[in-house]
Structures are given as C-alpha cells and as structure tokens.
Amino acid sequence: MEDFDNPEVEAQWFLERREAVLAYLAGEGISHGGIDGDPAWHVAPYVSVWSVGSLAHPGSVGWWAISGDLPHDYVSADNAKSPREAVEAIASLWQEAARYMSRGERHPTFVIGSGEHDEELAPLLASRAELLLEWVADPDAWDTDEC
C-alpha cells in the first residue's frame, strides 16, 4: 500500500480524485464555478470531499462532491453547509438507496448505477454509507469548527 503520509503520494491522490470529480460532474451535466486543488476533507485513500463552486453565487460553495473508494456523488450546499454535513447527507441517502436496491426496487428520486446489479451492489453501498456515518459521528475526524 502506498504511503499516504508522504506529501507527494497524497498530492497525486488529490490530483486523481479531483480529476475524477471533474469528469463525474461533467458526465452529470453539472455546470459549476470550479473545484479547489485540495479536498475540503479526506481520509486517503478512502474518501475525499470537494467543494464545488457555485455559478449563481461566485466565491461560495454550490455543491459538495464525494470521491474515493466509493461511488461518486454530490449534494447541494443548500442541504449541507459543511463537508461533514455533506458526508452525512450522502451516506444517509446511500443507506436508503441500498434498502431499495436490496429489495430489487429503484429509489423513487435517486439513481446509483444502471440497476443491473442492484441486489449485489446494495450491501457494498450500505457498508460504504455505514463507514461514512461512523466518520461523521467521530469528532476527531473533523476540524473543531465542524463538530
């Protein structure tokens, strides 16, 4: 495993995650005001949360995007004021989606994947959501102003 305490390794991972988020948002048709060079929060190599600039309000966050060893996703900054709130919102939605997927149903307002392998992907999505929620609950994982 790579040494993510090494600044060069971490910087390369940031670059790869940032490029992946940019490609994901483009694929989703999300127009935005840019993404910072470093994530707003991360636990390398598992997860990174990126502030995505608003076009409507330049200089402010419009969305939060998540990337890492999990599906890409994003949430409006209207629903999450910090990276921690974004992780909680995304993880909660993933838990709900995983319940639908495990029953062979599609979530009524949210889509992950093509639907072809939902029953086998449901436990993976649920486990990622559970891990994210554990981090949300851990005050040591966050800056003191986000606790």
- With a cut of 50, which residues of the chain have pLDDT below it? 147
Q: Which residue bears the tokens 């959501």?
A: 129
Please, which residues bridge with residue 65 across strands? 50, 74
Could you give the 3-state DSSP secondary structure of residue 29? coil
What's the angle, vertex CA 65, arms to CA 36 and CA 49, rounded to 5?
A: 65
Instruction: Look at residue 59 in the predicted model and tell me its pLDDT.
Output: 92
Question: Could you give the CA distance from residue 47 to residue 67 in angstroms, rounded to a whole number?
Answer: 6
CA distance 69 to 109: 24
- What integer pLDDT is reported at residue 147 of this predicted model? 41
H-type alpha helices, the chain: 7-27, 83-102, 118-137
- Long-range contacts of residues 99-108, Cβ cutoff 8 Å, at least 24 apart: 99/126, 101/125, 102/126
Tell whether the torsion through CA atoms of 106, 109, 35 and 6 is positive or negative. Answer: negative
